[in-house]
Amino acid sequence: MAVPFRRTGKTAKRKRRTHYKLSAPTLVICPQTGEYTLPHRVTPNSGYYKNQVVLEKKVKSEDKVDSKKGKKK
């Protein structure tokens, strides 16, 4: 098995690792809601893609309350 002849110094190691960095994601503004989103994706907040509704929003059902007892049915 190959073993390095000399230990890699701090400077050489850090110079090699300078290219390992994160890049900021590209964000665009959703024309319907004005929020930031990734390009070429359906926005979960509005459900639009290329100015067409692709994803319908789920409507939360309201819990019905019995007027006499004040409890949920």
- 3-class SS string, 9-40: CHHHHHHHHHHCCCCCCCCEECCCCCCEECCC
Tens-digit pLDDT profile for residues 5-44? 999 999 999 999 999 889 999 999 988 888 898 999 888 7
Using the structure block, give the residue that is written with the tokens 């319907």.
32
- Two tokens, residue 19: 């290219």
Question: Which of 64, 66, 41, 65 shows the shortest CA–CA distance to 54?
Answer: 41
Q: Is the pTM of this model over 0.75?
A: no
For residue 4, what are its two tokens? 């390095």
